[in-house]
Amino acid sequence: MDEFILPVTVIKGRGAATRIAHRFEHVQRNAFDDGWGTWNVSTDGVGPSIATQVIWEDAKSIITHNDSPDIYFDHSLNPYRGCEHGCVYCYARPTHSFLGLSPGLDFETKIIAKRNIATVLRAELAKPSYIPSLVAIGTATDCYQPVERDLRLTRAVIELFHETHHPFGLVTKSSAVERDMDLIAPMAARHLAAVYITITTLDGDLARKLEPRAASPQRRLRTIRTLAAEGIPVGVSLAPQIPFLNEDMEQVLDAAWDAGARTAFYTVLRLPWELKEVFKEWLELHYPLRAARIMARIQDMRGGKDYDADFATRMKGSGLWAELIRQRFMKATTRLGYNRARHTPDLSLFRKPEPLGCEGQGSLF
């Protein structure tokens, strides 16, 4: 029987278009039309939607440590692996390869949820050797992605930090963070919490393609305004900057400042491992006439390669185009007044939690 390989099409509500093979895979599979009408593409070239699957994980540890010189935090945690927002540029996509899953569609449709996160975190904070420091929440995948509405794992983490007066910061592109203002606001008043909202662009059409299941840019601005009104320190992340794609950095900074953001940072697009294939496929689907030019500029910032992991340049890039982006950012933030005050967490307030089963019992010593 002749096999007709299915054309790559946009999938409704998803960033990636295929289950691209991960780097440890030895077998390549292609979908084909078997003639039974099981594949239906709408008249606008959009393929059928794919449901999200939550896979439970019992984590052995929660807080991770890094000593990377280009990252501002030393400790972080992530309640989820994979992210339903489907951001096509997400540098965490290749981590799904270690699970035997695709960095493409699997990353955004098969979400690994650490159901015991609060229990394990409590045990880690209670260790006699534990020394508190700022913990960044959601640094790899969004801690307020859609499944958080029901699973409430991020909420459980913040409840424990609230109980122990443990400082944290979080980054998200979801308005769902507003749900937890009852915990975040009082912690912020004690210099224990800060929130960063990612706004890649104000262009709604581009945002729907780049970040298909994330809140709209205008909704994120409203979230900044809501958090700032409650006295919560709010910053804006303009990550990532992609040449010839999201060209409205100054407009984003203006809008975020008006909404109440007072700190800002950016990175340029990173394409490690399989991510470069996912992104190139996305470019050919959505911006075929610009694809070659965009990739050429990305390579200009990476010494002629798709990606360079060097600590000195991986976040901001190098060369003329990287310098132009840096200058634009510095001039805009200086003009507006961003980053003039530094958020310093108060580590002295930390109190170790009671071990599980001992809540309410006094210490013998």
Condensed to tens digits (0 to 9), the pLDDT of residues 305-360 reads: 999 999 889 999 999 999 999 999 999 999 999 999 888 899 999 999 987 765 55
* More confident of the two residues 39 and 102: 102
- The model's pLDDT over 133-177, given as tens digits with 9 standing for 90+, comes to 999 999 999 999 999 999 999 999 999 999 999 999 999 999 999
pLDDT band at residue 70, thresholds of 50, 70 and 90? confident
Residue-level pLDDT at 48 = 67
**Region for residue 61 given its phi and psi (left: phi exceeds 0; alpha: psi -120 to 50; beta: otherwise):** beta
Q: Among residues of the chain, what percentage have pLDDT more than 90? A: 82
Could you say which DSSP state residue 185 is in? H
pLDDT exceeds 50 at position 289: yes
Least confident of 127-136, 228-237, 296-305, 354-363: 354-363
My answer on whether omega of the bond before 240 falls inside 30° of 0, hence cis, is yes
Query: pLDDT value at position 319?
Result: 96
The secondary structure element, H or E, covering residue 204 is: helix 204-210
pLDDT at 31: 58
Residue from 346, 336, 170, 183 nearest 263 by CA: 336
> Which ranges in 230-354 belong to alpha helices (H)?
249-259, 275-286, 291-300, 320-336
Position 30 confidence tier, pLDDT thresholds 50, 70, 90: low
Domains of the chain and any CATH numbers: 4-349 (3.20.20.70)
Angle at 24 (CA atoms; ends 22, 25), nearest 5 degrees: 70
Mean pLDDT of the residues in the chain: 91
pLDDT band at 363 (very low <50, low <70, confident <90, very high): very low
Residue 99 has pLDDT above 60, yes or no: yes
